[in-house]
Amino acid sequence: MESAILAPASLIIAVIAYYATKITQGDYLAYDHADPSGKTTYIDWADALSKAAVWCLVACILGSLLGLAGNLARRHGIRGLPFRVLVPLVAIVDTSMRLRFDAPLQGAIPTTTWNVIRFAAVAVIVILAGHTVITTRSAERTHR
């Protein structure tokens, strides 16, 4: 199953790109305490690489599971439906948590964006479930 290989590989590449971007943006700069002026900085490679390594490990584990779920989502009918609605369900949970905890700090635009994403995810679940029911019934009628 190539999905179990390609999914973690893609996530690992994304993790590396993310941390490379964070390093170039200066997020892992540390001050050289040997310099009395406090103006000398260096990249804290140990911090950046340790976090990247942890997330690469998570990418290997979750990537394999999500790749398998993506492969199972290709099944026709009710058997594939739970895997097809996995991403919209995660979007609903994520945006609900963000609306609960982050929205008061972020303002109106992110709050509106998260609400739109949550609404769209619910709509996608309804459409996927409806499509599955219609195609399953249609297939049952043609086999009778």
Computed from CA positions of residues 15, 21, 27, 32, in that sequence, does the dihedral angle turn out positive or negative?
A: positive
- The structural domain count of the chain equals 2
CA distance 131 to 49: 45
The residue type found at 59 is A
- Residue that finishes a domain, picked among 72, 99, 120: 72
**Structural domain containing residue 82:** 76-144
The verdict on 22 and 52 lying in the same domain is yes
Going by C-alpha positions, the residue among 127, 20, 8, 116 that lies closest to residue 60 is: 8
Residues 30, 51, single domain; the answer is yes
- List the end-to-end C-alpha distance of the chain, in Å, as a whole number: 34
pLDDT (0 to 100) of residue 144: 67
Note the pLDDT tens digit of each residue in 6-27.
Answer: 999 999 999 999 999 999 999 9
Segment 56-102, tens digit of pLDDT:
999 999 999 989 998 999 998 899 999 999 999 999 999 999 888 88
Q: Is there a single domain that holds both residue 113 and residue 144?
A: yes
Neighbours of 3 (CB within 10 A): 18
Give the residue with greater pLDDT, 11 vs 3. 11
| Domain closes at, from 52, 72, 92 | 72
Examine the domain organization and report whether 4 and 68 are in the same domain: yes
Among 17, 50, 72, give the residue marking a domain's end.
72
116 and 67 in a single domain? The answer is no
Q: How does pLDDT run across 99-130, given as a tens digit for each residue?
A: 888 888 888 998 999 999 999 999 999 999 99
Contact 63, 107 (CB under 8 A): no
